Amino acid sequence: MALERPLRFSVLMPVRDDWSSAAELIRRLEKIFSSEACSIDIILVDDASLQRCERGDFQIDSSFVRVIRTLRLRRNLGHQRAIAIGLVHVQQTSDCDAVIVMDADGEDTPEGVSQLLRAYGESRGSLAVFAERSRRSESLVFRLFYRLYKVVHRCLTGISVRVGNFSILPAPYLNTLVVMSELWNHYAAAVFRSNLPFTMIPIPRGARIAGSSRMNFVALVSHGLSAISVFGDIVGVRLLIGSLAGSLLAALGIVAVAAIRLFTNSALPSWAAYATGTLAVIMIQLIAIAASFTFFVLSNRSNLGFVPLRDYSLFVEETVDIYCR
């Protein structure tokens, strides 16, 4: 790392019953951080797990892990909102230099953490660094739907989907993110929306340490819509423009049919009347859609919504230090 002074990192992991994977991942992380001049706090956001965390699995002999803490939530919120609550907790309780956000199942690898630390050091702590997935291990069907989602996301928001949660975030960024309602829906999209500077580096996805993923098709669609919702006003304006353009084309079609009928001697085919009626219905519907998007954009700009810094404590049941150096 290019930064010279000893650094303190917070490692934030949302966990839903993957306690054995989290314990093994922490042991693997020891090998990475043992070569760095730093200390780390590990925050495990317990997303209302059904299985109990075995404290003994997390008793390690480490000179650089200061604390391993579980932050238990009152109900299952999903990993994006668990990350949001974890980031607010770090911002409120820690004096770390940066936060490493990663999954606890092993798909975000210790070797990837090493690459993130290297890029963070090269930027001298001035940039957030996200892992851009250079290789995916999912099924062919998943990859096909994921490519389709990327196209839809780019058309609606103007931004390409290239990263997930795996990242390192300078601590000063937290002051901005914790008051963004967008963070409640999607962590990476909120960082992009904040206009805070960031960079991406290619890091392949690893394999799960144990068990199988709980993400089904419905959960994946919901996750994708959450990312798009962060750019709701942009999506609304783009759909507004598209609706107005479509209604204008429909109106031009009606005018063209009427002009042929009124100003030429050409006989109109029998389907022209039906085409005119259909175009009129389409035009009216598109104008109604455009009006609804207009009201949506205007109301969304005046709606503060959920503010993580203000509201996160409602969902925190308890915090427990399961390991202290």
Q: Identify whether the C-beta of residue 120 lies closer than 8 Å to the C-beta of residue 98.
A: yes
Alpha carbon separation from 122 to 69, 129, 137, 222 (Å, rounded)? 29, 11, 29, 36
Residue 177: per-residue pLDDT:
95
What is the arrangement of strands in the sheet containing 128-133, beginning at the earlier edge strand?
Answer: 198-203, 128-133, 163-170, 98-101, 7-15, 38-46, 65-73, 316-324
With beta carbons less than 8 A apart as the criterion, state whether 165 and 103 touch.
yes
Residue 10 has pLDDT above 90, yes or no: yes
pLDDT of residue 183: 93
The whole-number pLDDT of residue 64 equals 83
Residue 178: pLDDT band with limits 50, 70, 90: very high
Q: Tell me the C-alpha distance between 131 and 115, whole Å.
A: 9
Q: Please give the pLDDT value at position 299.
A: 67
C-alpha to C-alpha distance for 85 and 90, rounded to whole angstroms: 9
Which has the higher per-residue pLDDT, 267 or 143? 143
- The answer on pLDDT for 159 being more than 70 is yes
Q: How many Å apart are CA 179 and CA 306, to the nearest integer? A: 9
| Confidence check: pLDDT of 137 > 60 | no
Q: N- to C-terminal Cα distance for the chain?
A: 25
Percent of the chain with pLDDT over 90: 36
- Regarding predicted confidence, which is higher, 153 or 304? 153
pTM over 0.85: no
**232 band by pLDDT with thresholds 50, 70 and 90:** confident
Which pLDDT band, with edges at 50, 70 and 90, does 148 fall under? confident
